[in-house]
Amino acid sequence: MNEEKNLNELGNVKISEEVIGLLAEKAIKNIDGVIGLTSNVVESLVAMVSRKTGVKGVNADIKNENVSITLHTVIRFGVRIPEIAWQIQENVKTVVESMTGLTVDKVNVCVDGVQFPEEQQPVVEETAAEEAE
Domain containing 62 equals 2-132
pTM of the model: 0.74
pLDDT tens digits, residue range 21-74? Answer: 999 999 999 999 999 999 765 555 555 565 555 678 999 999 989 999 999 999
CATH of residue 77's domain is 3.30.70.1350
- Residue 94 Ramachandran class (φ > 0 left, ψ -120 to 50 alpha, else beta): alpha
pLDDT at position 17, please?
A: 92
Q: How many CB atoms lie within 10 A of CB 72?
A: 20
Name residues whose C-beta falls within 8 Å of residue 1's C-beta, 6 or more positions apart in sequence. 17, 61, 62
Whole-angstrom Cα distance, residue 47 to residue 52?
Answer: 5
Q: What is the mean pLDDT of residues 82-87?
A: 97
Distance of CA 73 to the CA centre of its chain: 6
3-state secondary structure of 83: helix
Closest CA to 110 of 38, 45, 41: 38
Q: Give the chain's domain count.
A: 1
